[in-house]
Amino acid sequence: MPYVNIKITREGATKEQKAELIEGVTRLLKDVLGKNPATTFVTIDEVDTDNWGVGGIPVTELRKQQK
Amino acid sequence: MPYVNIKITREGATKEQKAELIEGVTRLLKDVLGKNPATTFVTIDEVDTDNWGVGGIPVTELRKQQK
Amino acid sequence: MPYVNIKITREGATKEQKAELIEGVTRLLKDVLGKNPATTFVTIDEVDTDNWGVGGIPVTELRKQQK
Amino acid sequence: MPYVNIKITREGATKEQKAELIEGVTRLLKDVLGKNPATTFVTIDEVDTDNWGVGGIPVTELRKQQK
Amino acid sequence: MPYVNIKITREGATKEQKAELIEGVTRLLKDVLGKNPATTFVTIDEVDTDNWGVGGIPVTELRKQQK
Amino acid sequence: MPYVNIKITREGATKEQKAELIEGVTRLLKDVLGKNPATTFVTIDEVDTDNWGVGGIPVTELRKQQK
């Protein structure tokens, strides 16, 4: 009965990509630890780039610098 | 000083229902462990059904199959 | 399919008390939102009092002051 | 490689204030524990006042009482 | 810069299995969303079976019933 | 009423250093957002280096490579 939480920045992940993440993580837990998919939960949090910092700087700023 | 986080799918929980959850969890912690309600925090995350998977499938898909 | 995480300080909650929390939260989600207990997960984190702060002070210190 | 999650009520924190939180927490982890800012992540969750309870009451209600 | 938290019951996952989970989740995020492994964090929480409930019952009890 | 969770690897942070983190984060939230320290909670999770991965590799391995 695993519970997995994935946090990514909100930068356009599609419904299909999120379904792939859910499917892939669930299969990984089955393959590695024999966990039952029926009781494996996966949640995805999409976080605004203003609300995620790396190196002390919001990702919004990092993206501007990368351009 | 407990901290409780409740994650549910975003499927129409009302303001009143959320208030009931907050009240009920806070009372439970008082009744079972004697925790002071004044320092009990409860947060509720409502997660889009595209972003929650069970059995490797997004809840959005599960809901369609259940119809 | 709710997921609930309860954080309390590690100060001697018994196995029976933790079972009561699990049972009570699961019933609350059924009563208030009609959630199926079979797919309701509850996890409890017991946090050392050195690792929990309120008012800028570790709970270890608060407990000494309360004596 | 610390990971810090800050939860606050959604009550108008500005982009600049959130950048200050990110910068301040990252520096604190460097100053206290020598952690490398480049691998320090900070995420901020802004939670609706209907979805945050203290003392068994939603913050939305507390704010009305405080007026 | 994804952050992934995996919660499993503490029931004997080996160091090697945990390394496989870390490797697999990191690769999944690269394959599906193009995320850079260097800034992908994965943490694993192993939760005592007394502290994890499903269906309103601690996993410790469920395991006894399954025998 | 902010809630802050700090996750670091379990590599010898002292009680005093953890108290400094608690004090520093609480003050930061007061300085930047005017949050009341009395209702600011900080929790610190110390995660085993086998259970934390960066770049797809457990920190236990990274530390060996850094020697």
Q: What pLDDT does residue B66 have?
A: 84
**CA-CA-CA-CA torsion sign (B14, B20, B26, B28):** negative
Neighbours of chain A (3+ CB pairs under 8 A): B, C, D, E
pLDDT digits (tens, 9 = 90+) for E18-43: 999 999 999 999 999 999 999 999 99
Complex confidence, ipTM: 0.97
- Residues facing residue E9 across a β-bridge: E47
Residues of chain E with C-beta less than 8 angstroms from the C-beta of F57: 19, 22-23
Would you say B8 and C35 are in contact if contact means Cβ atoms under 8 Å apart? yes
Of A22, A45, A46, the CB nearest to B53: A22
User: Quick check: E1 and A59 CB within 8 A?
Assistant: yes
Number of residues that this document lists for chain A: 67
DSSP state of B7: E
Residues of chain D with C-beta less than 8 angstroms from the C-beta of B25: 53
Please report which confidence band the pLDDT of residue A49 belongs to, taking 50, 70 and 90 as the band edges. Answer: very high
Instruction: Return residues 3-22 of C near F (CB < 8 Å).
Output: 7
Please report which confidence band the pLDDT of residue B17 belongs to, taking 50, 70 and 90 as the band edges. Answer: very high
Residues of chain E with C-beta less than 8 angstroms from the C-beta of A5: 4-5
* Range A23-47 average pLDDT: 98
For residue E49, the distance in angstroms to the closest alpha carbon of chain C comes to 9
| A67: pLDDT strictly greater than 80 | no
User: Quick check: A3 and C1 CB within 8 A?
Assistant: no
pLDDT digits (tens, 9 = 90+) for B19-47: 999 999 999 999 999 999 999 999 999 99
Q: How far apart are CA A15 and CA A21, in angstroms?
A: 10
Give the number of beta-carbon pairs within 8 Å between C and F: 48
Q: What pLDDT does residue F1 have?
A: 84
User: Quick check: B18 and D47 CB within 8 A?
Assistant: no
| F67: pLDDT strictly greater than 80 | no
* Range F29-57 average pLDDT: 98
CATH of domain C3-66: 3.30.429.10
pLDDT digits (tens, 9 = 90+) for C48-65: 999 999 999 999 999 999
DSSP state of C55: T
E1, E36, E42, E45: best mutation site toward chain F, by most F Cβ within 10 Å? E42
Would you say E21 and E6 are in contact if contact means Cβ atoms under 8 Å apart? yes
